[in-house]
Structure 1
Amino acid sequence: MKKSLLKIYSAYGLLVFGLTFLILLPFFLLAIFVKPLESLAAPLNHIWARIFFFFLFLNRTKVRFEEKLDSKQTYIFCTNHNSYLDIPTVGLIWHNFKFIGKASLRKVPLWGYMYSRLHILVDRKSMRSRHTSWIAVTQAIQEGFSIIFFPEGGIVSKNPPQMASFKEGSFRIAVEEQIPIVPATIHRNHILLPDRMPLTMHPGIVSMKVHKPIWPSGTGDEAIKALKGQVRDTIEKELEQFYSNEG
């Protein structure tokens, strides 16, 4: 697609993002201010993602599950992260979850307020912020929410789809709370919306594979290390297989 058309498509994508958010905003506000309705946030995220991709002509989304997830089970979802498009992509998973996101997202007008009230933000440079977010995560889990982590700690890989090193926080929580981690592999988002300025959208197919849950085996540092290795290996093998088939 020509650069001029990509600029128009990117501007259109930003418009779709804003308009769909504003349409759903009253319902998000209900989830924020009416505590019993807080669980509405996850279905709203799913609806928003579906509408967003539909109007971007990315409605040919391919989300594959290795096995059906238990709607009553609390999980920690861990996925690779190379694009801002990953957030709505993960929203395609129908489950009651909260995101862990960077504190800088709070600066996004209006949307940042909604995100910070319904999800959990962390400033990784601040020990106090990390401690506060840890408490918030454990409380959310006790309330029955699943948690979505990007274990690389943000969009940090210099050579996507290769992944950066994983932080251990999500795996430590899984071990301490003895809940399973669900790895998820996002395939093409670094091509559809590369992390380069100016942000430029490209048409294509959104593709994600949600893997089988992996339960912690034991407790302590060795169990954390083993779980982190299993999750990373699962995502890396899926990426290798996907791109070998694409080639």
Structure 2
Amino acid sequence: MKWFRQLYRIWLLLCFAIPFLLLLPLFIIIIFYQPGRRFIKQLNNLWARCFFVGGFIPYKVIYEAKPLSKKSYVYCANHTSVLDIIAMGLVVRGPYSFMGKAELGKIPLFGFMFSRLHIPVNRVSKTQSYQALQKALDTVDKGFSILMYPEGTRSKKAPKLQRFKDGAFKIAIEKQVPIVPVTMPYNWKILGNDSLPNWHKGKAIVHKPIETQGLTMDDLAMLKQQTFTVIDNELKKYYEPQLATERRSSNAS
């Protein structure tokens, strides 16, 4: 069936690229027309819907509590697939900016849009990472939410979570905005690290916001652990036998 997966991969690339190219003029308009940036959410949502419908992938989003579309949040999702970026277009409510690795800016056309509408992070340079953090804080002040993958990179042992970095939680505490944990249990099954896709239904669970009012940087470790636990516990509902086997193997070695 490898040939079929190869064909499906090409089809998914077309489902990604064609809607993006059709929407690109609108992305360009809002790049140069500042008030239009509040429509990023709508464009990304339409792009995501086109992708999943075209790819014959039913994608269900479950909200434990719906975030308010006119309120800023820091969305924190597990990261197991390149699919995560487009899937979050179905999840986030209200205008938002995505913080992602600076390498995304090198992708033709997509990189042009990403580097101007979102927040590239150079993970090698401490200075540029700090500048990206400051830009995120300014973005929250403008009424936008921030979308981050606190693991910092895709998990190589999906669905197992990697250790969270501090950035998302610094932003949430500094601006006193809630954290919204998001669990996407199946994206890695659809398109994992081997780059050849498999058909599988998609799903995202948007958990209740974690309030940060009154928290200080002394509470950062607690907030980070609380967010990690919410996502980790949700993943265990789907993969507890697999994760338990991995833990036993790790302990044995």
- Give the structure-1-normalised TM-score: 0.94
Indicate if the aligned counterparts of 1:216 and 1:223 stay in contact, CA closer than 8 A. no
Q: Give how far 1:221 is off.
A: 3.5
2:73 is aligned to 75
Matched, 1:232 2:231: no
1:91 is aligned to 89
Indicate if the aligned counterparts of 2:81 and 2:188 stay in contact, CA closer than 8 A. yes
1:211 is aligned to 207
User: How many pairs are equivalent?
Assistant: 241
1:81-129, CA deviations, whole angstroms, 9 ceiling, x for partnerless residues? 0100001111102321110000000110011110111000011110121
Secondary structure of 1:182's partner? strand
Q: Could you list the runs of 5+ residues in structure 2 that have no partner in the other structure?
A: 243-253
Alpha-carbon separation, structure 1, partners of 2:60 and 2:66: 16
In the TM superposition, structure 1's runs of 4+ consecutive aligned residues that sit over 6 Å from their partners are none
Alpha-carbon separation, structure 1, partners of 2:71 and 2:168: 17
| Aligned residue type for 1:188 | Y
1:115 is aligned to 114
Residue pairs, 1:9-88, within 5 angstroms:
9-58=8-57, 60-88=58-86
Q: Give how far 1:217 is off.
A: 5.8
Secondary structure of 1:92's partner? coil
Secondary structure of 1:69's partner? coil
Q: Could you list the runs of 5+ residues in structure 1 that have no partner in the other structure?
A: none
1:221 is aligned to 217
Residue pairs, 1:122-133, within 5 angstroms:
122-133=121-132
Indicate if the aligned counterparts of 1:217 and 1:223 stay in contact, CA closer than 8 A. no
Q: Give how far 1:243 is off.
A: 3.0
Secondary structure of 2:98's partner? strand
Secondary structure of 2:62's partner? strand
Secondary structure of 1:212's partner? coil
Residue pairs, 1:64-213, within 5 angstroms:
64-93=62-91, 94-155=93-154, 157-196=155-194, 199-213=195-209
Alpha-carbon separation, structure 2, partners of 1:128 and 1:99: 19
Q: Give how far 1:158 is off.
A: 2.6
- Give the structure-2-normalised TM-score: 0.92
2:239 is aligned to 243
Indicate if the aligned counterparts of 1:183 and 1:210 stay in contact, CA closer than 8 A. yes
Alpha-carbon separation, structure 2, partners of 1:71 and 1:37: 16
Alpha-carbon separation, structure 2, partners of 1:222 and 1:132: 22
Indicate if the aligned counterparts of 1:20 and 1:48 stay in contact, CA closer than 8 A. yes
Indicate if the aligned counterparts of 2:97 and 2:117 stay in contact, CA closer than 8 A. yes
1:194-241, CA deviations, whole angstroms, 9 ceiling, x for partnerless residues? 122xx2121111111000000126433331111101100000000011
Alpha-carbon separation, structure 2, partners of 1:159 and 1:245: 15
| Aligned residue type for 2:202 | V
Q: Give how far 1:132 is off.
A: 1.2
Secondary structure of 2:147's partner? strand
Secondary structure of 2:76's partner? strand
2:251 is aligned to none
Alpha-carbon separation, structure 1, partners of 2:150 and 2:65: 22
